[in-house]
Amino acid sequence: MAVTPPEPSFISRLHERGLLLPSVVSLVVLGLLTQGFLHRGSNGDPEEPEPTALPAPTSTPFRPDLDKIPLTYFSDYWLQLGERAHHLLLSMGEAQVTVVRVSPGYAVGSIAAADAVTVAPGEAPEGQLVAVDGRYETALFRLAAGVGTTPLPTAHGLHAGAWLAAVTMDGQRGLQVTPGHLASTPTAGAQLLDVAIPFPHLLDVAAIVDLDARLVGVALRSRQGIRVISVEAAGRLVSRLASSPVCRAVEVAPLPDAVREALRLKNGVVVERVWPEAFAAPPDFQPGDVILQVGREYVATPEQFVEAWDSQEPGGHARFLVSRGSRRFVRRTELPGRDCRPDGAMPRELPLLGAAVQWTPGEESPGREAPGFRLLHVPPGSRAAGAGLEVGDVLVAVDGKPLDWPAARRLLEPWSSRHAPVLTIRRGDVARLTVLPQDREE
C-alpha cells in the first residue's frame, strides 16, 4: 500500500524559499505600527500620569543662523557670522593695516602693523599708534572718537570643542572667515587660548569670535607662529601699555631687608625677569642678580631703576654694577629700544637718503646677505628717489665702508656733507653702486 506524503505547510514553503525571516519581521513591524495607531486614537484616562522612563526633552530657543550648520549652507553661515563680527576689525592709516578692537577706544595689532603705520606718511584719521611691546610682539592703537562701536567680549562659557571662528581682513580677498574650535578648556586667568583653527598663511591679525559673534580672543603672528591671546589678556595688555607706553626688557623688585643685610649691601634691586630677545646681544645680568648701579647712579628702589634706565640712550652701551652671590662686577650692555626690540628694529627716517628705513642684521654665515638699512618708503623728491632707489633696496656700504650696527647709528643723525657719497645698494641678489644727488643749496 502506497503512502502519500503530506503536503508541505505554508511555513515550510516560506522557509524553503528563504522568505520566512523577512515575513516574521514584517509582521512584527506591522503589529507595532498598528498598536501605536490604536494607542494614539484612544482618549485614555486624563488623570493617568505620563510614563517617566525617559526625561522630557528640554526646549531650545530657535536659532535660524545655527539651524543651517549641518546642511548645505555651512559656508554661508560662517560668512554671515563674519559679517556680524566685521565691526571688530578696523583698517589703520594709508597702508590699511588691520587691527582688532578689544576695548572701548583701543585696538591691538601686530608689530608689522605698527611698522606699516609708522612708515605711512600722514596721520591716520582712525587713530594713532600708542605703544609697541616687543616682548609680546603687539602694538596698541588709540582710536579716534566715534570710531566703531563697543565690542562685546566674553569671558565665560568657553569649553573644549566649542565652535570658534577667526575673522580677518585681506587687502585682496576682503573679509575672511576661518572656522575651527577650542582645543582645550582655558583655565582661570589664562593668557593664551588653545585653538584648532587652520589660519590663513598670510594672516597678520584676526578676531577670534564665538557663534554669537562675541570676541573671545585675538590671533597675532609672532616669531614663533600664530598665537591666540584671550580677550582678558588683551584687556590687561591694553591697560598696561596705555598707562606705560615705554617697554623695558628688565623687571626688578625691591631687595628684601634680610637679603640686603646678609649680602651687606646698602642699596640695590633684584632682577626678576629678563627678555633676552629685546637685546642685540645677550645681556650680562640674569634673574637673581642684584643691580647696584645703572650708569653712575646708585639705585635702591624699582622707581629709581626705571628712572636711571630711561635716562640711558637706546642702542648705547650702558654701565651696570652687578652683585652676584659674593662677587661684584661691572658690565656694559647695549640697551634695546623703547619698544623692547633691539635698537634699529623700529622703522625711522634716514636723513642721508630722506627715506624711511629699517635696520636688517643680515646673516652671519659666509656668503649670505650683509647687514644694512632696508628702504621701506621712498618719498618723491627725496635723495633716494633721485638716485633711483626703490622700496626693498638695502644700503650695505657708504664710500666703500660696510655698515655694522651700532656704528651705523651715526647715519640716523642729521646728514651734511660737501661731497656726494658713493652708496653700495643690494637689490635682490645683485649689488650696484650709485651716487646721491647733492642738495640744491650745496
d(CA 437, CA 386) in angstroms, rounded, equals 6
- Same domain flag for 200 and 282: no
Report if residue 53 sits inside a domain: no
Strands lying side by side in the sheet with 127-133: 89-92, 97-103, 106-110, 138-143, 127-133
Domain co-membership, 388 together with 306:
no
| 254 and 239 housed in the same domain | no
Helix, strand, coil share (%) of the chain residues, nearest 5:
20, 30, 45
Strands 269-274, 250-254: parallel, antiparallel or unpaired by DSSP? antiparallel
Residues 153 and 133 in one domain: yes
**Looking at the domain assignment, is residue 28 inside a domain?**
no
Q: What is the pLDDT of residue 273?
A: 92
Only one residue has cell 568657553, namely 158
- Where is the domain boundary, 312, 334, 356? 334
Would residue 40 count as lying in a domain? no
210 and 131 in a single domain? The answer is yes
My answer on whether 137 and 178 are in the same domain is yes
Among the listed residues 93, 88, 224, the one whose alpha carbon sits nearest the alpha carbon of residue 169: 88
Does 297 map to a domain? yes
Residues 218 and 125 grouped into a single domain: yes
What single-letter amino acid sits at 369? Answer: E
One domain for residues 123 and 200: yes
For the chain, how many structural domains are there in total? 3
Q: Distances in Å between the alpha carbon of 193 and those of 190, 234, 323, 392?
A: 7, 12, 39, 36
In this structure, are 282 and 402 located in the same domain? no
Cα–Cα distance for residue pair 358/374, rounded to 1 Å: 5
377 domain residue, yes or no: yes
Q: State the Cα–Cα distance between residues 157 and 347, nearest whole angstrom.
A: 42
Q: Is residue 73 part of a domain?
A: no
User: How far is 297 from 290, CA to CA, in rounded Å?
Assistant: 14
Residue 67 lies in a domain: no
Q: Buried b / exposed e across 10-49, counting CB within 10 Å, b at 16+?
A: eeeeeeeeeeeeeeeeeeeeeeeeeeeeeeeeeeeeeeee
Residue 320: the pLDDT is 94
User: CATH number, domain at 422?
Assistant: 2.30.42.10
Amino acid letter, 95: A
Whole-number pLDDT of residue 442: 40
Predicted model pTM: 0.68
Query: Same domain, yes or no, for 234 and 265?
Result: no
Q: Helical H runs in 42-139?
A: 74-84, 111-119
- CATH number of the domain that 232 lies in? 2.40.10.120
243, 269, 292 - which closes a domain? 243
Range of the structural domain that residue 264 is part of: 250-334
* Domain closes at, from 215, 243, 271: 243
Determine the pLDDT at residue 300.
93
Tell me how far apart the alpha carbons of residues 68 and 335 are, in angstroms, rounded to a whole number. 56
Run of H or E residues at 277? none
Q: Is residue 420 part of a domain?
A: yes
Whether residues 312 and 357 fall in one domain:
no
Same domain membership, residue 228 and residue 203? yes
Quick one: pLDDT at residue 111?
86
Q: For each of the chain's 442 residues, which pLDDT tens digit applies? A: 444 445 555 556 655 666 656 666 677 666 666 665 555 555 555 454 454 444 444 444 444 444 444 444 566 788 888 889 998 998 887 778 889 999 888 999 988 888 888 887 666 677 888 888 888 889 999 888 766 566 666 656 788 888 999 999 876 668 899 999 999 888 877 788 999 999 988 888 999 999 888 999 999 988 788 999 998 889 888 998 888 888 888 999 999 988 888 888 989 999 999 988 888 888 888 999 999 999 889 999 999 999 999 998 888 889 999 999 888 999 888 888 888 888 778 888 888 898 889 888 876 545 567 889 999 888 888 889 988 999 889 999 998 899 988 788 888 888 766 678 889 999 988 889 988 876 654 4
Q: What is the pLDDT of residue 341?
A: 86
